[in-house]
Amino acid sequence: MRKVIHFLKRVFCPAGSCQDQGYDNSSGQPRVVARSQHNLSRQNISSNCRKVLHHLHAGGYQAFLVGGSVRDLLLGHEPKDFDVATDATPEQVRKLFRNCRLIGRRFRLAHVFFKNEIIEVATFRANENDKRTVSKDGLVIRDNMYGTVEDDVLRRDFTINALLYDIKKFSIVDYVNGLEDLNHGLLRLIGDPATRYREDPVRILRAIRFAAKLGFRIEEHTAAPIKSSAVLLRQIASARLFEEVNKLFLSGYSANVFSLLLQYDLFGLLFPATQECLTDPMIHLMVDNFLQVTFSATDERVQLGQSVSIVFLLAAILWPPRQERVIRYEAEGCSEQEAKERASLETLSEEVDIIEIPRKMHHQIDEIWNAQRYLEDRRGKRPFRMVNHPRFRAGYDFLLLRAQADPDLEPLAQWWQAFYEADHEQRLDLIQKLQRQKQKGPRRKPRAVPAQQD
C-alpha cells in the first residue's frame, strides 16, 4: 500500500505542485487531471460500462464513471463493479437502453443489464436540504431531487469516493480534494461529519469498512464523532444492518474490521452478547483469540478465492455467548440437551433484534453448534454417520478453528482430520484404536479370594 501511495504522489503531485494542506479548489472549479498525469486506463473499465458511458454521451447527456471504481483503479485494484452518474433522468436512461430496469424508492436508479454484469446508472442528485424528507432525528428518508454534477459530488460520502472519470477526455475530475486524500491514505467525509452521520448512520460502518479495506487512516474530524454517533445505528433497519455485516466481514479484511470496531466501540452495538464475553476478565483472552483465529481464517479463504459463508461466521461470532449460557443453564440444573437448546434459542433471538438473520440461517447455525457435540462422540458407527451428514464439513471446519484457539481440542481435531482423509478400512482401524485406548486405563487391583476351608 505504501508503494501505491508513493506512486500516486509522484503522479499527482510532481515536484512541489501539491501542498500539504491539499489542493485548493475554493473557487468551486474542479481539478482536472489529464491522461498523461494519471494511471487510470479506460481499458481497465469493463466493456459494458464503456458502452453505457459512450451511449449516454451519444444521446447528448453528461456521463462519468464514479465512486469506488475510480478509487480502486487509481490504486491499482480491480473494482468489484462499475457505477455511472449522468444528468439523464432515470426515465431518459430507460429510453436509451432496452435492457434497463428502474429500481429504488428513496432515490431512483437505473440498472442496465448485460449477460454477466449490471451497470448502475444514477442521475446527479441535488444538494438542496429543504427538499429532502428527513426524520426528526435527521435521517434522510426520501431524496429524489436531481441536480448538477457538482451537487452530486458534494452529496457523496467520502472524498476518495467522489472522484469522476471523464471517458471523453480520459481525465480525472476532482471537486473535493479526493486525490490529495488518496495520496495521503486518508479517509475523509465530505461536509460536517456529525451531520453526515445523522443523515445516514450506516456511513459509520462504511468508514470502518473502507479504512480496513484500503489500510487508510480515518481523518481526525471524520473519526471524532464516531463513538458519540454510534447509537444512531439503532435507527437503521435490522435487514440493512445484516447486509452491512456481510460487507464488513466477508470481503477479505475482517480481522482489520474487528480491530477497528473494537477501537471505536462499535462491535458491541452489533454483537452485544459477544461483547460481554470480550469484557469478562475470566474468558476475554480465550474469546478474543477464537475470534481472531476465525477472522484470519476467513480472510485467508477470501484471498485464496475460496468460498466464505456468513452462516459459518455468525456461528463463530455468537459461539462464546452461546457456550457461556450453556454452562449457566447446566449449573442451574438443566440437562445437557435442554441447556444447549435454550442457549441457542436465546442467543439467536437476541441477535435477530439487531441484525435480521434470515430464519433459514437459524437452523444452519444451530446445526454447526450441535455438530460439535456429535464430533466429540466417536462411539461405534457414529463417526461414519457424522462424516456423511450434510453439515459435517461446516462442523468439522468449526472444530478446527476451535482447536487453533484451544490446545486441549487438538487431539480431537487431529483424529477427525485423519478420519476425514482416510479410506473405509483406515477409518475402521482408527475407531478400533480409539476403542482400545478407552479400554486401557488404570488396571484394577485383583480382588482377594478367601482361602478354602478344610
Which residues are catalytically annotated? 81, 83, 157
Strand 217-218 relative to strand 109-113, pairing: unpaired
The residue written with cell numbers 480409539 in the block is 434
The residue written with cell numbers 464430533 in the block is 375
What's at 265, amino acid-wise? D
* Runs of H (alpha helix) within 304-409: 310-331, 336-352, 359-376, 382-387, 392-405
The residues pairing with 120 across neighbouring beta strands, listed in sequence order, are 83, 111
Q: How far apart are CA 361 and CA 372, in angstroms?
A: 17
Residue 379's alpha-carbon distances to 382, 413, 430, in angstroms, are: 6, 16, 11
Q: How far apart are CA 257 and CA 79, in angstroms?
A: 20
Check if the beta carbon of residue 162 is closer than 8 Å to that of residue 176.
Answer: yes
The residue written with cell numbers 453528461 in the block is 62
User: Percent helix, strand and coil across the chain, each rounded to 5?
Assistant: 55, 10, 35
Q: Checking phi first, is residue 305 left (phi over 0); if not, alpha (psi -120 to 50) or beta?
A: left
CB count within 10 Å of CB 78 equals 8
Shortest CA distance to 187 belongs to which of 16, 71, 80? 71
CB count within 10 Å of CB 349 equals 10
Give the contacts of 259 (CB within 8 A, at least 6 positions apart): 212
Give the contacts of 297 (CB within 8 A, at least 6 positions apart): 401, 404
Sheet bearing 109-113, strands edge to edge: 31-33, 171-174, 164-166, 63-66, 83-86, 118-123, 109-113, 100-103
Check if the beta carbon of residue 296 is closer than 8 Å to that of residue 252.
Answer: no
Strand 31-33 relative to strand 171-174, pairing: antiparallel
Cell of 55: 451511449
Check if the beta carbon of residue 46 is closer than 8 Å to that of residue 52.
Answer: no
Residue 141: phi and psi, rounded to 5, are: -100, -45
Shortest CA distance to 100 belongs to which of 92, 54, 143? 92
Check if the beta carbon of residue 25 is closer than 8 Å to that of residue 175.
Answer: yes
